[in-house]
A and B are shown apart, each in its own frame.
Chain A
Amino acid sequence: MNTVIKVEKLVKEYKGLTAVKGISFEVKKGEIFGLLGENGAGKTTTLEMIEGLRKPTSGEISVLGHNVRNEISEIKERIGVQLQSSAYYNYLTLKEILSLFGSFYTESLDPDDLLKMVDLEEKAGATVNNLSGGQKQRFSIVASLVNDPEIVFLDEPTTGLDPMARRNLWDIITKIKAKGKTIILTTHYLEEAEMLCDRIAIMEKGEILMMGKTHELIESTKNPFKTTFIATSLSKETLKELEGLGEVNELAGKSHHFEMMLKTQVNLNKAIKIVQKLEPESITVGRSTLEDLFIELTGKRIGGE
């Protein structure tokens, strides 16, 4: 597969702060690449340097074979950018905004077709102020598609949305990918990254902690197996027995609610047998998630909002 974005030893320093500390990665044509991390991890700064909005302190970026430093106007014609919490003109209708933004490019798509793609055709004559949060975000994404770009940049596309609106947006992002476009997005929702991204880079404090195909990353965790159960009669002896097989944690908040992380299938089978003897109220068995990997890497849960 062709490489469409190549980032090498990228550094961004602000006065007294290094926001991005020499990261390198590549994005391949047609994939969804996710930059995952907490607020302040350097995701947006990285994205904005690739978009040409911020100047890197050092390092090289090439997008579609052009160097960001001196060929940014060629790049801008062929990329679409959705900014984090950006607004649009208040006194223009959605259709007028799309047609205006289209006029900035040598070629552009029909505003009606674009609005139809995100189910906003009925809002064509409305202004941005009259849209709900989810509609605004859908509009913001479709506005980044006016020039039929080859690469689409989405900066936290679902932040602040309710679960329904978020799923709706995932569908739209999948549709964009299906058109053969490359998508690079940032998110701090682990399930979103797990659901959407072909490959991810986990960022923390300006560095990439881990990068790879999403499923391979999850499988590479120390404890890829997982079981959760509710047992009221867990004796100290049984607990010790279980701890010999893997990590046992009592979940904060709920009582008698345990989670167990295990290295091997064999240990998992043994553990389930022990738990079943306790006649648990509930038992579920599964694989570890991206969140488990994240906790393992950073020693903490990612901030919800």
Chain B
Amino acid sequence: MKKLLLADIKMLLRSKQTLFWSLMFPLMFTFIFGSFFGKGNNSVGTVALINESNTELAKSFDKAARDSGIFTIKDDINVEEAKKLIGKDQLSGAIVIPKGFGEQKPDAPKNIKVVYDPAGQAGRTLIGFTNQFLTAANLEIQQAKPIFSVEEEKTNTKQFGYFDFILMGLIGMALMNSSIQGMSIAMSKYREDKILKRLTTTPLKVWHFIAAEVTSRLLVNVIQVTLILLVGFYMFDAHINGSIFLIYVLALLGALLFQSIGFVIAGLSKTTNAAEGMSTAIAIPMMFLSGVFFPIDQLPKWLYSIVQYLPLAPLLRTMRSVALEDASPFANPSNLILVIVWVVAALIIAAYKFRLADE
């Protein structure tokens, strides 16, 4: 048994395919998302600020825009150049403060111009920001106090950003891809090559064989989660507010779930190619519909009411509430129960459908 486990680990680490899909691929994603959203970067993009006015009002807008942290400011550019760059998607937008804006003269220009591509993301934010500033300025000039205002209440006092949200998603994705694809392809390949049949001619017990396969893969999962967390922490300043230990426990529970699904796929598909196709067909939609990259409550209601039960979705909900909000995994037990129901269901189907060799 020990020898089999060691052999299984050796084989996993010698397979370039395993190394790429379970380690390199999720790390690549972590790196990409970290570069965009890591290090507390909430910027919606780079915006040209063309300030042709010298007044106090213009100066204070300039300062507010620079300090907001909502966008990165580009200087020393004229309107025509800015428009060209927006057309090429090299700029998200431009703010033009016309000459004389804010002067106490009746014919002084009253508008700040916002240039943006409606297809881009940054336009609304730019307009919102400018509007908010001008409203405040209007009130001040009229020496009025706002009557209505917003009271903010955060349901959660923990600090986290989009990257922290996505980091848990990436761990879930990595677990899912490597376990579903890894297990289903390995098992159907072993069956196709008659390695499984050959094993059944020896006194090796079936559960020893499966235990060694599962355990060796869980070890790879631990390496996987550790690498993603390390890259997230040290390269992109991710925060984990909850227990790291619990995150590992949940990750391994998830890995078990996806490995059982892998066994089900291997049991249902006759060839390795079929297993490969079936696991891709399951993993890719689940990646997008279970909230790896964005919260799924943005989906149409009918779709959400289905996809919230996909195996990855409750796992990610639990992992995020632990990681981001430092909540107990039992705070919302329905998620954990759903994961366990999936594990049990997959194991039952696997036990029924998966055979080492055909009769």
Q: Does B359 contact A (CB under 8 A)?
A: yes
Between B7, B10, B11, B359, the greatest number of chain A beta carbons within 10 A of the residue's beta carbon is seen for: B7
Selected from B14, B197, B203, the residue in CB contact (under 8 A) with A73 is: B203
CB atoms of B3 and A86 under 8 A apart: no
Known: A83-B194, A85-B194, A103-B4. A92 touches B11 (CB 8 A): yes
Q: Does B202 contact A (CB under 8 A)?
A: yes
A53-B358 Cα distance, complex, nearest whole Å = 9
A55-B358 Cα distance, complex, nearest whole Å = 11
Selected from A88, A92, A103, the residue in CB contact (under 8 A) with B10 is: A92
Known: A55-B359, A100-B4, A100-B7. A81 touches B195 (CB 8 A): no
CB atoms of B202 and A105 under 8 A apart: yes
Nearest residue (CB) in A for B203 is: A76
Which bracket fits the contact residues of A?
20 to 34
A90-B204 Cα distance, complex, nearest whole Å = 19
Which bracket fits the contact residues of B?
20 to 34
Nearest residue (CB) in A for B201 is: A81
CB atoms of A101 and B202 under 8 A apart: yes
- Name the A residues within 8 Å of B14 (CB-CB): 91
- Name the B residues within 8 Å of A85 (CB-CB): 194
Q: Does B357 contact A (CB under 8 A)?
A: yes
Q: Does A51 contact B (CB under 8 A)?
A: yes
Interface, chain A (partner B; CB < 8 A): 51-55, 73, 76-77, 79, 81, 83, 85-92, 96, 99-101, 103-105, 147
Nearest residue (CB) in A for B13 is: A91
CB atoms of B359 and A83 under 8 A apart: no
CB atoms of B4 and A77 under 8 A apart: no
Nearest residue (CB) in B for A144 is: B201
- Name the A residues within 8 Å of B195 (CB-CB): 86-89
- Name the A residues within 8 Å of B202 (CB-CB): 76, 101, 104-105, 147
CB atoms of A54 and B359 under 8 A apart: yes
- Name the B residues within 8 Å of A88 (CB-CB): 193, 195, 198
Known: A103-B3, A105-B203. A53 touches B11 (CB 8 A): no
Identify which of residues 335-359 in chain B touch chain A, using a CB-to-CB cut-off of 8 Å.
357, 359
CB atoms of A53 and B15 under 8 A apart: no
- Name the A residues within 8 Å of B193 (CB-CB): 86-88
CB atoms of B10 and A96 under 8 A apart: yes
- Name the A residues within 8 Å of B200 (CB-CB): 53
A103-B7 Cα distance, complex, nearest whole Å = 11
- Name the B residues within 8 Å of A52 (CB-CB): 201
CB atoms of B359 and A76 under 8 A apart: no
- Nearest chain A CB to B189 CB, angstrom units: 9
Sampled A-B contacts (15; CB under 8 Å): A53-B197, A54-B359, A76-B203, A79-B201, A81-B198, A83-B194, A83-B201, A85-B194, A88-B193, A88-B198, A90-B11, A91-B11, A92-B10, A96-B10, A147-B202
